[in-house]
Amino acid sequence: MPSVTSSDGPVAVTGASGFIGAHTVIQLMKRGYDVRGCVTDTSNPDKTGFLLKLNDEHPGNVTLHQANLLEDGSYDEIFAGCSAVLHVGTPMGYGGANRPQQVYDGMIGGINNVVGSIKRSGSVKRLVYTSSFAAIGHPAPPGYRYTEADWASDNRENDANWNTKDLNDKGEVGYAYGKVEGEHLVNRLAAEDGSFDAISVCPIVVLGPLLSVVHECVGSWQYALGRTLTGKNNPRGWQALWNIVDVRDVAEAHVLIAESATCKNGDRFQLSATDESGEITVKQLQEHLQKQLPHIAVGGPPPEYDAMIEKYGKPYDAPRAHCDKARTELGLKTHPVEDTIRTTAETFIELGLVEPALKKRDGP
């Protein structure tokens, strides 16, 4: 299947105003693409203003288009003439915006509607689907190193929860199950159609610069980091490791996949830490932030952390995963984790999303 270039026509991005979607728009514009950014509400300035400003900063161009993943045919006009679709958006559960069943239904329904519009476009050659590490991580012993060969559906023979029954009572199961199903679905629909191929991106803990206040995403990884700048404890993922990838690297990988002449239908790329430096405990995250922002009293793990260390010696050694395939096959150059952590914190403060807990000065 031929690769896509900026002279083949526009590229559409769903979820263009979202955290990953907006960075994906930037990466396309840096390479001179005409981007059709899809948003749910073109009249919301927090979701549109920062995107339209990009037209003054990069060689490419972005226009914004209103569409809804839950409506069949919503993307027909937008995708017409496009060479590729980067399907980044999906209804998320952030801040209780959607219940687990709605997240699952939106994921699968959204894919069907996006693919329907791709087929009717007659021009789209490649679909890049934003899946998640949630579609990779499965029950495994501590220290296990995950790769693209792993599926979240592996080792589930004795897991009575691994199904779509009563999703609202089962937390994150619907998200992981939906991402596994979603990847298989895009690949099957592409194979059946034959006019485009579908490749998945599986990001893990995505951090890096926020571009708009809407990127706070209540309950997200970046949100948990942001709260620690106010001196609060970090309630998220302290029992294990934060496996960190930069949002700019996730975004660039989407574009490199669209352009790749070697990617084929069914390929998937894990976007995770570059190496051990990006696999850190919540305590180490606090130390990174404290070193880079010495004037702020950064919050750390909750009190239960110390009891866990006393009992087990260290947090659970997972998830271990490196983005080797994206680096070798796509030529992705990743950001150092220090830069990823610092820019997350700095943009939280610059956007006025947190009031940092400033350290008291000694003396008069």
Ligand X SMILES: NC(=O)c1ccc[n+]([C@@H]2O[C@H](COP(=O)([O-])OP(=O)(O)OC[C@H]3O[C@@H](n4cnc5c(N)ncnc54)[C@H](OP(=O)(O)O)[C@@H]3O)[C@@H](O)[C@H]2O)c1
Q: Cα 17 to the chain's mean position, in Å?
A: 13
Length of the chain: 364
Binding-site residue total for ligand X (CB under 6 A)?
29
Angle ∠(31,345,250) on CA atoms, nearest 5: 35
* Residue of 9, 10, 18, 301 interacting with ligand X (CB under 6 A): 18
> What's the closest the beta carbon of residue 248 comes to ligand X, in angstroms?
13
Complex with ligand X: residue 10 or 18, whichever CB lies closer: 18
For residues 127-156, b (16+ Cβ closer than 10 Å) or e, as one string? bbbbbbbbbbbbeeeeeeebebebbbeeee
* Cβ 139 vs Cβ 146: under 8 Å: no
Which residues lie below 8 Å from residue 302, measured CB to CB, with a gap of 6+? 233, 234, 235, 238
> What's the closest the beta carbon of residue 295 comes to ligand X, in angstroms?
28
Complex with ligand X: residue 205 or 296, whichever CB lies closer: 205
* Residue of 92, 111, 244, 257 interacting with ligand X (CB under 6 A): 92
> What's the closest the beta carbon of residue 91 comes to ligand X, in angstroms?
4
**Binding of ligand X by 112 (CB under 6 A):** no
What is the DSSP code string of 105-121? HHHHHHHHHHHHHHHHH
Dihedral sign from CA coordinates of 231, 232, 238, 241: negative
Complex with ligand X: residue 136 or 296, whichever CB lies closer: 136
Strand locations in 164-322, DSSP E?
Answer: 197-203, 205-207, 242-246, 268-271, 279-280, 320-321
> What's the closest the beta carbon of residue 347 comes to ligand X, in angstroms?
14
DSSP letter, residue 172: T
> What's the closest the beta carbon of residue 63 comes to ligand X, in angstroms?
14
> What's the closest the beta carbon of residue 15 comes to ligand X, in angstroms?
3
Chain position whose Cβ is nearest to ligand X: 18
Q: In the window 217-246, what residues touch ligand X (CB under 6 A)? A: 217, 220-221
Helix, strand or coil, per DSSP, at residue 324: helix
The residue assigned the tokens 């994150």 is 172
Peptide bond into 319 cis (omega under 30): yes
* Cβ 49 vs Cβ 23: under 8 Å: no
Which residues lie below 8 Å from residue 301, measured CB to CB, with a gap of 6+? 233, 234, 238, 281, 282, 283, 286
* Residue of 29, 35, 69, 186 interacting with ligand X (CB under 6 A): 69
**Binding of ligand X by 206 (CB under 6 A):** yes
**Binding of ligand X by 68 (CB under 6 A):** yes
**Binding of ligand X by 130 (CB under 6 A):** yes
**Binding of ligand X by 132 (CB under 6 A):** yes
> Applying CB under 6 A, which part among 10-18, 160-168, 321-329, 335-343 lies near ligand X?
10-18
**Binding of ligand X by 17 (CB under 6 A):** yes
* Residue of 6, 27, 40, 187 interacting with ligand X (CB under 6 A): 40
> What's the closest the beta carbon of residue 128 comes to ligand X, in angstroms?
11
**Binding of ligand X by 90 (CB under 6 A):** yes
> What's the closest the beta carbon of residue 314 comes to ligand X, in angstroms?
24
- The contact set with ligand X (CB under 6 A) reads 14-15, 17-21, 39-40, 47, 68-70, 88-92, 94, 106, 130, 132, 203, 205-206, 215, 217, 220-221
